[in-house]
Amino acid sequence: MTKNKTRVSMAGVLSAAALLAGVAAPAATAAPAAHHTHPGHSAREIPFTAAEVTAREDGGYEITWRAPGVRKVAVRANGRTVAVGGATGRVTVRGLPAADRQWFDLVPDRGERLRLADRLIRLEGTVNFRDAGGYRTRDGQWVRMGAVYRTDSLDKLTGDDLAKLKRLGIRVDYDLRTASERTSAPDRLPKGVRYVVADVLGADSPVFSMPETAAEAEQMMIDGEKAMVSGESAKAAYSTVFAGLSRDADGTLYHCTAGKDRTGWASAALLTALGVPRETVMADYLASNEYRAEANAAALAAMPAEQAAVYKPMLDVRAAYLNSGFAEVEDAYGSFAGYEKKALGMDARELRRLKADLLVG
């Protein structure tokens, strides 16, 4: 690192870090054409306090759940029962036909069923494309899956990827990136998808000295997170996204370059608005480290060790980053409810509509 500090905008930091990591993804699994149908709304209680579907490398699926007070849970896929368990279960299902996404219905002997799929959408041109739903709220409802998606950049999507997004029902794409990012790596989208610019950092992106130590890099990311909460461009951008979500969330996609910082705050704000507990919001945020692990490791391995140590905090997501965003919410708006109203422009009616659309149970 040089002794003369280089000045760089936060937009430049985020885009440069993401481009260093690249977006090479493992090959997508073959899947026949299929139209996704999201689960219907129901006033009946969903008894599951935890549940998750995880795709395995061998082509199978691991399904786990907890449903206190339930005697029996049937796991159904493709119209048939593929596993049965009790109030607590962990089963592995193999031998299902290939599909764009494999959906499972967890059917309890009392209460409403829960419909889930693996959160990651496997594409050839991205590494961090995932469903924003599948989480339980504090009051026992669930954020339905198959409606809202988050991702990294879309400029490397293949023809097969585009066909898959079409089958998934993507209707609108909110691009959270700056003008330079959009110009250098324009989105590839299926025909008919509405493209909306929602530039979080804008032309007035905060400017920092390029870090010379890992501690400086981490502090820069912490300060950048605050700008995503209270910056004027950020407020306008996220207001645009939330206005669209409150009208009709189905088929919504939002993204930046790495799908971890600007996109990470978008999902953190959405899940918090829906009533998802902070620890779950944090886990969703930190999952970008897992999905981007291979790409980030390759980028760091190509650098001298001293340089890699400085760049690593910019490729990571860390609890300190997201916590600084929520701290800025408290400092600037007094509460998350204040942030919803003053920064996102959401009134009580729009918030009710958002919850009615995205929550089940």
Catalytically active residues are 256
Phi, psi of 41 (to 5 degrees): -80, 150
* Tokens encoding 124: 């050839």
Q: Cα torsion at 278, 275, 116, 66 (round to 10°)?
A: 70
As a whole number of angstroms, the distance between CA 67 and CA 73 comes to 8
Local structure of 280: helix, strand or coil = helix
Say how far apart CA 129 and CA 97 lie, in whole Å: 22
9-40 core/surface letters (b: 16 or more CB in 10 A; e: else)? bbbbbbbebbbbbbbebeebeebeebebebbe
Helix (H) or strand (E) holding 279: helix 278-291
